[in-house]
């Protein structure tokens, strides 16, 4: 009896499971659902509020661009390319101008300013002192000659000879600076020549073989003072390599110094503008540096574009 009871329980459970499976198989499938491989798949094609319907919905608008839109895009790309080419060419010209005018940043102000140059008033005073000493020399020398001829007493002739030699020493040697504050004329003229030679030598270094002043004249766009008629002569003579045949005195050297000061201001403005644009273009993701061959090709293409 105990062994038969578990068997009956098992049969009873088996009959219950069979009854449930048959009822599930015979039950009708609701609309919108389908059975597939043991899973119920919901189909909501007719439901517009379904989130899946937006993914399956196809766009009715044509995704292809019209010919007008394609043409406008090509035109915009061409204009952008031409603009960048023009910017590259301008940046290349600025770089060449900066390289050509670079010596202007190295000029020596003290050398060209000539602050120690003896003034005309000082030279005139020294020349007047020399004339006074020469007059005394002539007077004492005349007394000595008259004494030799016997026209004056001997003591007058001896005193005249001594004073004549002393006046010569004070007139033509540097011994006078120990007794007088004003230097002699020959020392002032010597100092002038030394300062002028140093300034002219520095100008020769700045100008070089190709000239500098006429290249600095191209910086007038960045400093209107360079476009004055005051500097036109320096520009022309520098272009013709005849600047050293014209600059001979302090006035011309100071004029050259004034032009270098104005050119340096323009050079700094040009350098600042070039670097700002260059780094701005690098931040935008393109480089505006080109070589001479590329610049020549861009110039030809831009000219062809303008002619056409």
And the tokens for 178? 């120990």
Instruction: Please give the Cα distance from 224 to 232 (Å, whole number).
Output: 13
What is the pTM (predicted TM-score) of this model? 0.66
Radius of gyration of the chain (CA): 51
Per-position pLDDT tens, the chain of length 308? 444 444 444 444 444 444 444 444 444 544 444 444 544 545 444 555 555 444 444 444 445 667 766 666 676 667 777 788 888 888 999 999 999 999 999 999 999 999 999 998 999 988 888 888 888 888 888 888 888 787 878 888 888 888 888 888 777 777 777 777 778 888 899 999 999 999 999 999 999 888 999 999 999 999 999 999 999 999 999 999 999 888 988 999 999 999 999 999 999 999 999 999 999 988 888 888 888 888 888 878 776 444 43
Helix (H), strand (E) counts: the chain? 11, 2
> Which among 137, 122, 126, 120 has a CA at the least distance from the CA of 185?
126
The total of other beta-carbon atoms located within 10 Å of residue 223's CB is: 19
Residues in the chain: 308
Return the pLDDT at 51: 52
Burial of 31 (C-beta count, 10 Å sphere; 0-12/13-18/19+): exposed
Q: Are 146 and 158 in contact (CB under 8 A)?
A: no
HSE value, Cβ hemisphere, 13 Å, CA-based, for 144:
14
> Which among 232, 228, 218, 234 has a CA at the least distance from the CA of 266?
218
Burial of 270 (C-beta count, 10 Å sphere; 0-12/13-18/19+): buried
- DSSP bridge partners of 42: 33
């Amino acid at each position: 009896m105990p062994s038969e009871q578990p068997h009956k329980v098992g049969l009873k459970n088996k009959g219950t499971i069979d009854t449930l499976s048959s009822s599930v198989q015979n039950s009708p499938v609701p609309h919108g659902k389908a059975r597939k491989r043991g899973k119920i798949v919901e189909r909501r094609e007719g439901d517009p509020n379904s989130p899946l319907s937006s993914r399956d919905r196809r766009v009715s608008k044509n995704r292809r661009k019209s010919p007008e839109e394609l043409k406008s895009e090509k035109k915009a790309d061409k204009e952008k390319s031409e603009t960048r080419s023009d910017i590259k060419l301008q940046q290349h010209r600025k770089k060449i101008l900066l390289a050509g005018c670079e010596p202007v940043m190295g000029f020596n102000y003290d050398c060209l300013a000539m602050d120690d140059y003896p003034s005309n008033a000082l030279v005139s005073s020294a020349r007047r002192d020399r004339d006074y000493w020469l007059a005394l020399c002539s007077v004492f020398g005349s007394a000595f000659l008259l004494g030799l001829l016997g026209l004056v007493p001997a003591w007058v002739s001896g005193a005249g000879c001594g004073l004549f030699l002393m006046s010569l020493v004070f007139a033509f040697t540097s011994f006078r600076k120990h007794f007088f504050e004003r230097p002699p004329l020959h020392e002032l003229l010597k100092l002038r020549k030394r300062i002028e030679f140093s300034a002219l030598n520095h100008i020769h270094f700045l100008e070089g073989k190709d000239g500098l002043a006429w290249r600095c004249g191209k910086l007038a766009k960045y400093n209107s003072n360079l476009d004055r008629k005051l500097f036109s002569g320096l520009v022309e003579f520098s272009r013709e390599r005849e600047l050293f045949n014209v600059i001979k005195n302090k006035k011309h050297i100071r004029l050259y110094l004034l032009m270098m000061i104005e050119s340096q201001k323009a050079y700094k403005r040009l350098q600042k503008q070039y670097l700002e644009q260059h780094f701005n273009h690098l931040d935008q993701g393109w480089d505006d540096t080109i070589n001479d061959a590329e610049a020549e090709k861009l110039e030809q293409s831009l000219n062809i574009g303008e002619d056409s």
